[in-house]
Structure 1
């Protein structure tokens, strides 16, 4: 597995293709909510398998001085093998290179244990985003 920062239109399309399969096709998120106005101001990450097929994605942007982690997803066939953690590690490394030490994300409730293992802490009550239960989580690094 290899995580890349999307540096070309093709790599960004790879990220969108994974997000479409996971969020739109699998979870029924409306396309207009999934691909949003923050795409151009975000840094996009794509996880490729050993045959260079895109299997995971995520994006990162600055929001009020925090690193906002968004759209973390892995194809169902690639889950449970460290793929999500690889994407998150790449995002955290990128943020560290920019001096960012505080992170925020809105986690689907079923994914909270995954983020807790990475040091995130839930700080909100449950809320719906695209009809899916979420909680806001934060992390601060040293």
Structure 2
């Protein structure tokens, strides 16, 4: 695990890695239609890549309003705290940008993961891309 680092990514320069990860996780594994996966928010988002040496293994994005999303880790690297590292990087970046509240839409099976990071469920369960989700919020303490 100590070889895994999270860095800020550039949507244009790192596009192939971001797309490879999200296509593997959301489109191939979870059957999310491509037209729902790719949106105009990617252009304005701050992107993160989790790297093992020079190989990208996970990604996430932070929108200007504090919405964290598209958190995805390739199957072979799950269970190694890669998701935690991505989320911690996104939360820290949000706090550095004075975004006092972070929000996300979580797949229901992942709510305990996000709760460990300080998020709380703030909605009823709903379907998005055919997958049960809930909205979650985390309030930051001032830095």
Pairwise same-fold verdict (TM > 0.5): yes
State which of 55, 61, 64 in structure 1 corresponds to 2:63.
61
Partner of residue 19, structure 1: 22
State the Cα distance separating 1:103 from its structure 2 match.
0.8
Aligned partners of 1:12, 1:113: CA distance in 2, in Å? 30
Q: TM-score scaled to structure 2, two decimals?
A: 0.92
Aligned residues: 138
**SS of the residue aligned with 1:62?**
coil
Deviation track 1:84-124 (CA, whole Å, cap 9, x = no partner) reads 00000111111121111201100000000000000000011
Would you identify which runs of 4 or more consecutive aligned residues in structure 1 move more than 4 Å? none
Partner of residue 105, structure 1: 104
Q: TM-score scaled to structure 1, two decimals?
A: 0.93
Partner of residue 91, structure 2: 92
**SS of the residue aligned with 2:14?**
helix
Report if aligned partners of 1:127, 1:134 keep a CA contact under 8 Å in 2. yes
Partner of residue 46, structure 2: 43
**Structure 2 CA distance for partners of 1:32 and 1:8, relative to 1, 3 Å:** closer
**Between 29-38 and 4-13, the greater mean CA deviation after superposition:** 4-13
Partner of residue 125, structure 1: 124
Report if aligned partners of 1:2, 1:47 keep a CA contact under 8 Å in 2. yes
Unmatched tracts of structure 1, length 5 or more: none
Unmatched tracts of structure 2, length 5 or more: none
